[in-house]
Structure 1
Amino acid sequence: MHGHFPTSGFSDALVILGAAGVVIPAFARIRISPVIGFILVGLLVGPAGLGAMAGDVPWLNYVTISNPEAVEPFAEFGIVLLLFAIGLELSFRRLWGMRRLVFGVGAAELLFSAVLIGLALYGLGQSSSGSIALGLALALSSTALVLPLVGTTSAVGRSALAMLLFEDLAIVPIIFALSAMGPQSTEGFGGLMTTIALGIATMAAMLVLGRILLPRLFAQAARTKSPELFLSASLLVVIIASLVTTAAGLSPLMGALLAGILIAETDYHSEVEVITAPFRGLALGIFLITVGMSVDVRLIVENWSEVLAAVVGVLLLKAVVTGVLLRLNGARKSVAAEAGLIMASPSETTLIVLSAASAAQLIQPETAAFWQIVTAIGLTITPLLAKLGQVTARRVDRQADVEPQGIATGQDAPDVVVIGFGRVGRLVADMLTAHGRSFIAVESNVDTVAACRREGLPVIFGDVARPEFVDRLNLGHARSLVLTMDDPVLTVRLTRKVRGWCPNLAIVARARDARHAAELYKAGATDAVPETLESSLQLSEAVLVDLGIAMGPVIASIHEKRSELRKEIMELGDLEDEPVLTRRRLRDAINPG
């Protein structure tokens, strides 16, 4: 076998796997979303980058994407798996509870954004049919990028999920309508209604059959105790569901979403989510690489002013529309601002709609190419928009949230202020209540605050990273401050500031490990409780009791060991001048392994 060896597929695999192995850890190290890294890799190795020189420099064939069309099916599969993962996080009860957001705000956001973008383009000279097509295409937002950035459980995540779900439902009718608008089309309103009816019937049948068959399928796969078979069953369900909805005239994304929701109702959803995660991440990386390959830098340079104006115009218009609609629906200002910014960029499905509009002769190929570049740029900066949204959300509406709240002074002041009301903070509050001590808690997650208020708990909303908010806590009137946040840097900084203001206040802080506890003691904490040490002491107590040793001596020895370790931790910060061996011995004793 000395003939020509086909290297195209292998070189493409080399580029993709190499990008995943380099981009993810490299960008994680500099705390930048790997989304940008994958898109930049696609730009570099695609036909508009180094791939353009592969004909003159043969060795570049091994480090560039030689056949972009061959990679696209894998990219589409990545989006399908992403929708499947989103479905795994949902349930029919949750979807029913979101119906107002999905069909109210979601529909309004798509409609108003499309109308305003279309009117703007019509005013700039675009034809009426072309304006409609471009308005609908650019009004879509990226499911593939938005939901991984904001999740689906926060207030912003729920709002984004609702709007994106409606867009996913609308994508097929949009494409069908654009095809029917084309000058060569023979389809009409009747054809659209037929497709919708067939799609509804197909989804209903999938829901019924899925509830009957999927639990049995995964039960059989689980009994084999074969991870490979379980993975095969999971991918089989996704592919079949996508093929069925595609055959019915719907999007394959809808089939994947339904498959995820059905599996979420079974006992196997957690295992399915874990076992498909590596494939989902890699396939999504391939999709992002294809987005980068669609960017033509030369065209951007030649038309930079028009491209910049188009990107800024689309982002601003969509951000304003989304934010205003969410505010009218009762969302907080900070939630509306953050959701508006992260939903502002176009979508991966925008590229599909642009292709459909071009094929239907509603827009010229040059126009489609221009807006494809705008879309690719929008997708590239989506992580930056997410970061900007977080920063904006911290600044918007926070003062109004904390103004009516505060800590009483004088005799009515609480005994303890608890900052951070997650799992640890809530347990501390329960123990304080059990012993008749009053407290007030501060939490930065508005959903947690709302839930606690419904339970009648004294929890207020606020960001302790802002010094002016900490001033309003009147810590001088409290007896103790408990810091339970899972943010080591902020915990140390807040301890140092509060100790400077309140030298007699007892400050008890949660520490990650012995080193962090030492930093807290140096900053002025009264007590720093390392999670690793406390779990070790609790394990020691349990095993000693199980061995038959009396509870009294066990508790006494645990207290003695805790005091000994606390003393060593407090000295740990002063060991920089000691010999290396001494420091290592002490650190090993405090934090073995």
Structure 2
Amino acid sequence: MNNTVFHEIAWLLLGAAAVGLLGTALRQPVIVSFIAVGIAAAAFFDSSPETASQIRFLAELGVALLLFLVGLKLDWRLVKRLGPVALATGLGQVVFTAGIGFPIGLALGLDWLTSLYVAVALTFSSTIIVVKLLSDKRELETLHGRIALGFLIVQDIVVVIAMVVLSTVGIGVTQRGGLTDLGAIIGSLLAVVVILVLFVRYLADPLMARLARTPELLVIASIGWAAAAAAVGDMIGLGKELGGLAAGVSIGSTPYRDLVSARLSALRDFLLLFFFLSIGATLDLSTLGKDVTPAIVFSLFVLIGNPLIVLFIMASMGYRTRTGFLAGLTVAQISEFSLIFMAMGLSLGHVDQSAVGLVTLVGLVTIALSVYMITYSQQLYAWCQPLLRPFDFGAWREAAAANDEDKATIDVIIFGLGRFGSQLLRRLEDAGYNVLGVDLDPQAIRRFSREGYQVRYGDVTEQDFWGELPLTQARWIVLSVPYGTILLTETDPRSGLLTAIRTHRFGGRVAITARTDQEARRLQEGGGVDLVLYPFDDAATSAAKQITDLDEESITQEAAGALAPASLVPPVSEDQPRVIIVGCGRVGDLVSEMLARHDVRYVALDSDSALVARERRRGKPIFYGDATDPELLRRFGIASAHALVVTMDNPTAVESVITAARTERPDLIIVARARDAEHATKLYELNVTDAVPETIEASLQLSEALLVNMGVPMGLVIASIHEKRDELRHALQGSEREGRVRRAIRASTRRKSDGGT
């Protein structure tokens, strides 16, 4: 390339950027802007054939690279599931467009051969434009995007066959070079499929794993593979597009596809600029004004008829009208192959220049308008939705497809599969979570992939790579990336990852690993961190728990054999009344401490054998058993007990103990712990002497502390607190008669106790 070509392309790029900027400011799709630049530069291309040749080369390379990236995302399971609808829709649209377009051409005064050529040309849709638009809108992975991609591939195969047939029946003329025999083309296609299957099965993974050791080499090799496959496809008559697609499919099953896709996205966009420039440059505007009326009719036919037939076919196959409508919009334009097809007919003498101009004008109109239709597809669907009700035949197939998608939902994404990240992945998978692991170590990726885990090889500093991740599905992102594993210039890559997470507006929760509290605080400064994991501290905690659990287990085993209630509860004499405490947790422990401080004898009962064994070693009079057992209560001396205190935090258990105790001793003082006022009322209905609601007592104590600290005399505070407590107790106890009964029971019990001592 000489300096003149370099200068011309440089000015062309600058002009494309300026027009694209203007179009963006006017809210116009950039594709339309680039095509407009190509149209404006058409005369320039004619005067500079060398520059035009270089631009066509870059355009062809961009097309091959685009289809290569599309192939990377093809999933064989997806092809198997969506194959029938893609085949039916693709072939149905081709047959419909050709079958209806032919009589329309005859009605417009075209001869039968020209009508046939135009009808066939209108069946081809632009895979390149559609894939680019869906990719920019991030809809290529949606259901309608996948179906659209499927039937566009079917159309591309039909294009190849149509051109092969046309070249074969022509008078010794071939336009695509290489083989012209249809049987040879089909044989070549089958050979490509066989080679592709063998490559994927035996060579793709080990080859990509070796290349992935050097990410730059992986990218260069991928570009070379895409270009070489496109060249081979062109040589055997399948076309550069299908060759590039096959190259992408061949490595699409490897865990390295996302990194390749992310690294090549910017290069793809740059090269596709030249493709759209070349489309604009190839439009012959000199013949556009001669067939305006037929062009309008055919344009409306493509813009409206093609989407409707796709919608009808998909609705008949059990898809929602929304899915069919959005997929149908992708065929509302003709392809660059339509112009090539008409050019072949012109060279064969089957059509004249006016027919080529007619299809060119239809292409210009449909490409421009379909770009807007696809770009604003959601708004267009909302506007057309009332008119689409006749196409609602029931979405039974789409419901099944949605269920399949749900099964593949990712719950947690873990960045970094080192020692901690790898173990976390395994533990979460064992717990039933669907986890995706991301790492830049090809050996780790290969190991986990062989073990059946979902992993991806990728550089999370690549912004495009984030677009490949299922961020909308995941509920958690865990950053377990150690220092210095991603960027040489960044000591802590987690800061960059947190920024990327915030940039992509991740809606789930984020957990990070940290070694110290200071490190955790630094990472939490920007916000967006829900959980901090300390691998070393957590490991120590887990180890300590295992030790204590084993110790508790041995204590429990000892207690189970030695703490039988019948053998531990000593006989109780009638002249030694005491308090029975049921429940020896924190509350019961404090109650026993206060009783001991006032020299009140007590005996405690708990159903936790390990706790009983531990407290007995400390010398406490605590025993193991179920306090709802009447026989056990008798052995504890409930007949002569001074009072019963129930401190358990389980409301149902508290009520059961009170019922059993009240059955044995109707006059016994029973003080019980209540969860709240409602629970206290229920306990009073069971005839407890006093119920102590946790919420009320906490409120009274808070009030007491506040008033004293504010300078209110303590005596007044205590008096008011007692007054309020009595007021609340009276409200909870119910009627005055029941209160008198309880006071009488309490007085009778006190007299009996005084007489006994």
Q: TM-score range by the shorter chain?
A: 0.5 to 0.7
Partner Cα distance (2:112, 2:145) in 1: 35
Structure 1 residues 543 and 37 mapped into 2: Cα distance closer, same or farther (>3 Å)?
farther
Q: Deviations over 1:124-160 (max 9, x none)?
A: 3334333333222211111111123233322321231
Deviation of the 1:235 alpha carbon: 1.2
User: Which runs of 5 or more structure 2 residues have no equivalent in the other structure?
Assistant: 391-408, 412-471, 474-501, 504-522, 542-757
Which among 277, 300, 303 is matched to residue 312 of structure 1? 300
How far apart are residue 356 of structure 1 and its match? 2.3
CA drift of 1:14 comes to 0.8
> Of 206, 210, 213, which aligns to 2:196?
206
- Retained in 2: the 8 A contact 1:245–1:251? yes
Distance 2:174 2:282 in 1: 31
Alpha-carbon offset, residue 300 of structure 1:
3.4
Q: Which amino acid aligns with 2:68?
A: F
Deviation at 1:83, TM superposition (A): 0.9
For the pair 1:193 / 2:183, whether they are aligned, the reply is yes
Q: Number of matched residues?
A: 414
Q: 1:288 aligns with which of 271, 276, 287?
A: 276
Deviations 1:25-75 (A, max 9, x none): 55445543211111111122222xx778x7xxxxxx8xxx87434421221
1:269 matched to 2:257? The reply is yes
CA RMSD of aligned residues (A): 4.1
**Contact 2:290-2:354 within 8 A present in 1 as well:** no
Find the aligned partners of 1:342 and 1:237 in 2 and give their Cα distance.
29
Is the counterpart of residue 124 in structure 1 residue 108 in structure 2?
yes
The 8 Å contact of residues 98 and 162 in structure 1, kept in 2 or not, is answered as: yes
- Is the alpha carbon distance of 1:67 and 1:312 closer, same or farther for their aligned partners in structure 2, counting shifts above 3 Å? farther
- The 5 A counterparts of 1:121-520 are 121-150=105-134, 151-183=139-171, 191-223=181-213, 225=214, 227=216, 229-301=217-289, 303-397=291-385
1:6–1:541: structure 2 CA closer, same or farther, 3 Å change rule?
Answer: closer
SS in 2 for 1:139: coil
**Pair 1:534–1:302, CA change in 2 (3 A):** farther
Which residue in the other structure is 1:101 paired with? 85
Where in structure 1 are there 5+ consecutive unaligned residues? 55-60, 402-421, 425-483, 486-511, 514-531, 551-593
Deviation at 1:384, TM superposition (A): 0.9
1:36 aligned to 32, 35, 57, which one? Answer: 32
| Deviates further, 106-115 or 535-544 | 535-544
Are the equivalent residues in 2 in contact too, given 1:333–1:396 (CA < 8 A)?
no
The answer to whether the Cα contact below 8 Å between 1:142 and 1:346 also exists between their aligned partners in 2 is: yes
**Secondary structure, in 3 states, of the residue corresponding to 2:529?**
helix
Using a 3 Å threshold, how does the CA distance of structure 1 residues 208 and 132 change in structure 2: closer, same or farther?
farther
**Alignment partner, residue 527 of structure 2:** 536
> Is the deviation greater in 67-76 or in 15-24?
15-24
Q: C-alpha displacement at 1:120, in angstroms?
A: 1.4
TM-score by length of 2: 0.49
TM-score scaled to structure 1, two decimals? 0.61
Amino acid of the structure 2 residue aligned with 1:218: M
Q: What's the CA shift for 1:174?
A: 0.7
Match of 1:566 in 2: none
Amino acid at match of 1:40: A
* Identical columns (%): 22
Report the structure number with the largest CA radius of gyration.
Answer: 2
- d(CA) in 1 for partners of 2:326, 2:301: 18
Q: Deviations over 1:139-195 (max 9, x none)?
A: 1111111123233322321231121010122221110112234355699x9932232
Change (3 A) 1:7 1:388: same
Q: 8 Å contact 1:335–1:393 — kept in the other structure?
A: no
Deviates more, 1:279-288 or 1:302-311: 302-311
Higher RCO (CA-CA < 8 Å; seq separation 6+):
1
Report the Cα distance in structure 1 between the residues aligned to 2:182 and 2:45, rounded to whole angstroms.
41
Deviations 1:383-435 (A, max 9, x none): 2121453223224557989xxxxxxxxxxxxxxxxxxxx999xxxxxxxxxxx
* Letter of the structure 1 residue corresponding to residue 356 of structure 2: A
For residues 211-238 of structure 1, the C-alpha deviation after alignment (integer angstroms, 9 at most, x for no partner) is: 4333333323222x251x2222011111
Match of 1:81 in 2: 65
Aligned position for 1:468: none
Q: CA separation in 2, counterparts of 1:8 and 1:391?
A: 46
Q: Compute the displacement of 1:350 (Å).
A: 1.6
Q: Specify the alignment match of 1:15 in structure 2.
A: 11
Q: Partner of 2:181: helix, strand, or coil?
A: helix
Deviating more after overlay: 101-110 vs 21-30: 21-30
